[in-house]
Structure 1
Amino acid sequence: MSETQQQHVVVVGATGHVGSFLVPRLVRAGHRVSAVSRGTREPYHADPAWDRAERVVADREAEAAAGTFGTRIAELRPDAVVDLVCFTLDQARELVEALRPTGAFHAHCGTIWVHGPAAASPLREDDPREPFGPYGTQKAEIEEFLHAETRSGGLRSTVVHPGHISGPGWPVITPLGNLDPGVWEALSSGGELLVPGLGLETMHHVHADDVAQLFELALARPDVSAGESFHAVSDRALTVRGFARAAAAWWGKEANLRSVTWEEFRAAAGEHAEASWEHLSRSHSASTRKARELLGYAPGTSLDAVRAAVEAMGLLPRP
């Protein structure tokens, strides 16, 4: 897909975090867009460009169980399909088999969790991996399947791996790697915040619009992006301590941090402790060099992405 060539792009999961920004981007670029969703909610981000997108209501889970979802998408006659809500190999296989005869280009939303615990920093797309947990493991299986399909001369696909997607309209991962609103309360008031270990683990946030940016760039250059994976993250990752200190400054406060053992942290954090472990034990900081050099990717900062979410949550006055 070149910048001057209009295409019919089908976006599956269109009203989610990334789709809310991707659909307007594609519409403004002059493409015909079919926005597929369950029809249960409006996009997170309002944009007049949505008025020029075709809405398609589809329950993927129900239709996939009946073996009809892939055919439903193929019958829309797309030039390209962006799949933002594929989480199992069976889902990916059904869609690929249906799209293969169409010659459409396919873009899949993965995750940087395919890497597992970081062995080097920043992570590169082709680094050795040790994924763990269902989410990262299944996304890694999907990626392997899609690239094998491309190499074999079948459906051409690319994979975009977002970091911790942030932005207005939904809760954001805090400096402790969880969704505990008490973290923001402590940072905004100068209250004490317990930090497991030294707080040097990293998290790599990204604004949903920057993920959408990378999908748009990949669709524009299928000759470059087919068979490749790209990290969709911000310019730099943040450590727990660095993130907490920068966030506290939004309220004119200094972060009041106290290091504790993981055992002490688990006892204090309760239900939020497991999410913290899931994020911090991976300690991800991913390179964007490949996406920058091959596609011209230009993301914003982690702090700007998080601040947009915190402002939308009503915890900070908008500038």
Structure 2
Amino acid sequence: MPGSARARRGPRGQGGAVRVLVVGATGHIGSYLVPRLVGAGHEVVALSRGTREPYRAHPAWERVERVVADRDAEDAAGTFGARVARLRPDAVVDLVCFTPASARLLVEALRPTGAFLAHCGTIWVHGPAAASPLREDDPRAPFGEYGTQKAAIEELLLAETRSGGLRTTVLHPGHISGPGWPVITPLGNLDPQVWRRLSTGEELLVPGLGLETLHHVHADDVAQGFERALADPGAAAGESFHVVSDRALTVRGFAEAAARWWGREADLRPVSWEEFRAASGEHAEASWEHLSRSHSASTDKARRLLGYVPGHTSLEAARTAVEAMGLLPDGRGTLSA
């Protein structure tokens, strides 16, 4: 609806309730974002595949319009963008876009509407860290399908905005943590044996010296970043932002702090990557994917332009997940589950 009153009243500048469509609304971030948006007075449309309820129950969901859609199938048919546009959002938060082709379809459908598009990226767009902390405009060398595709999506979206097209912004979370799903361990994988060994004081093999960094973020802090971007698209449009905790943790520092949750001292033995791979099996590749990047990202830009202030440290974000998994001490210094 180019030139319509509705197109002109999209979220511009500070404040104002608008109609927000959240794609992937019942996932990690959406479970926290949707209640935030409802609480801020926005009209919220929650679009998901309909295969699960939000990770976090909240009465705000009773005030949300729910829409079920299979994005993969509709992208393949070329209909997903049109479906989103027909729902007449003033703003779209896209939490589950993983290819430039999918992003392009949505941009083309939204371009005539005057909507604002906020996309969820990842700090993996940086590839191996060359400086610390990373800034959004640092030179990049992404590798692997996920980081490479996300970097291409960011380039597409920001070029669209800077050329005078659809207003977009990209938020890059770290390792998203919170209650209801497994959390990246101090070894950069999802192996539950890492938590067991830390909880019992057993020896834990650590590849290298354990000085690589991991940058976690609580899902609610990522949601905060999106809420703040929607509140001030004038500052957010055409920009990308890191949304992470205040500081990253080293492998060794994370493991030692986590062991203290169970009243233990971490027994860490540095080994070569070859020995670690032989001992860790299928989990070793995930460790390499995380630790070879060794990310520590700056939030200065998000703080300055959006007013973003993370509410959880990396350690606090990880602990909320471990606690929800039933793995904290039961009073006898052992695992409760």
TM class by smaller structure: over 0.9
> Where does residue 292 of structure 1 map in the other structure?
303
1:56, 1:317 → 2: CA distance? 41
How far is 1:4 from its partner?
Answer: 3.9
> Where does residue 207 of structure 1 map in the other structure?
218
2:276, 2:221 → 1: CA distance? 33
| 2:207 corresponds to 1:196 | yes
Contact 2:174 2:216 in 1 (8 A): yes
> Where does residue 252 of structure 1 map in the other structure?
263
How far is 1:317 from its partner?
Answer: 5.4
1:242, 1:96 → 2: CA distance? 42
Whichever residue aligns with residue 194 of structure 2, its letter is V
Contact 2:210 2:251 in 1 (8 A): yes
> Where does residue 158 of structure 2 map in the other structure?
147
- 1:65-214 equivalences in 2 (<5 Å): 65-214=76-225
Contact 1:311 1:317 in 2 (8 A): no
How far is 1:118 from its partner?
Answer: 0.1
> Where does residue 267 of structure 1 map in the other structure?
278
1:287, 1:317 → 2: CA distance? 33
Which aligned segments of 4 or more residues in structure 1 are displaced greater than 6 angstroms? none
2:166, 2:87 → 1: CA distance? 17
3-state DSSP class of the match of 2:44? Answer: strand
1:185, 1:120 → 2: CA distance? 33
> Where does residue 39 of structure 2 map in the other structure?
28
Name which of 326, 329, 332 aligns with 1:314. 326
C-alpha distance 237-318 of structure 1, shift in aligned 2 (>3 A): farther
Question: What CA deviation, in whole Å up to 9, does each residue of 1:239-261 have, x standing for no partner?
Answer: 00000000000000000100000
Contact 2:15 2:231 in 1 (8 A): no
3-state DSSP class of the match of 2:263? Answer: coil
> Where does residue 5 of structure 2 map in the other structure?
none
Contact 2:23 2:96 in 1 (8 A): yes
1:11, 1:315 → 2: CA distance? 32
> Where does residue 64 of structure 1 map in the other structure?
75
Question: What CA deviation, in whole Å up to 9, does each residue of 1:206-265 have, x standing for no partner?
Answer: 000000000000111110000000001001000000000000000000001000000000
Contact 1:86 1:92 in 2 (8 A): yes
How far is 1:316 from its partner?
Answer: 1.3
3-state DSSP class of the match of 2:304? Answer: helix
Task: Give TM-score, length-normalised by structure 1.
Answer: 0.99
Question: What CA deviation, in whole Å up to 9, does each residue of 1:15-60 have, x standing for no partner?
Answer: 0000000000000000000000000100011111111111000000
- 1:38-49 equivalences in 2 (<5 Å): 38-49=49-60
3-state DSSP class of the match of 2:176? Answer: strand
Whichever residue aligns with residue 311 of structure 1, its letter is E
1:4, 1:165 → 2: CA distance? 27
Q: CA RMSD in A?
A: 1.1
> Where does residue 63 of structure 2 map in the other structure?
52
3-state DSSP class of the match of 1:100? Answer: helix
How far is 1:3 from its partner?
Answer: 5.5
Question: What CA deviation, in whole Å up to 9, does each residue of 1:141-178 have, x standing for no partner?
Answer: 00000011001111010000000000000000000000
Contact 2:142 2:148 in 1 (8 A): yes
2:165, 2:28 → 1: CA distance? 29
Contact 2:262 2:329 in 1 (8 A): no
3-state DSSP class of the match of 2:26? Answer: coil
1:48, 1:247 → 2: CA distance? 33
Question: What CA deviation, in whole Å up to 9, does each residue of 1:93-130 have, x standing for no partner?
Answer: 00000000000000000000000000000000000000
> Where does residue 231 of structure 1 map in the other structure?
242
Question: What CA deviation, in whole Å up to 9, does each residue of 1:248-293 have, x standing for no partner?
Answer: 0000000010000000000000000000000000000000000011
Whichever residue aligns with residue 40 of structure 1, its letter is T
| 2:243 corresponds to 1:220 | no
| 2:302 corresponds to 1:302 | no
Contact 2:22 2:93 in 1 (8 A): yes
Whichever residue aligns with residue 128 of structure 1, its letter is P
2:256, 2:216 → 1: CA distance? 16
1:64, 1:152 → 2: CA distance? 25
Whichever residue aligns with residue 108 of structure 1, its letter is H
What are the ranges of 5 or more consecutive residues in structure 1 without an aligned counterpart? none
1:292, 1:52 → 2: CA distance? 30
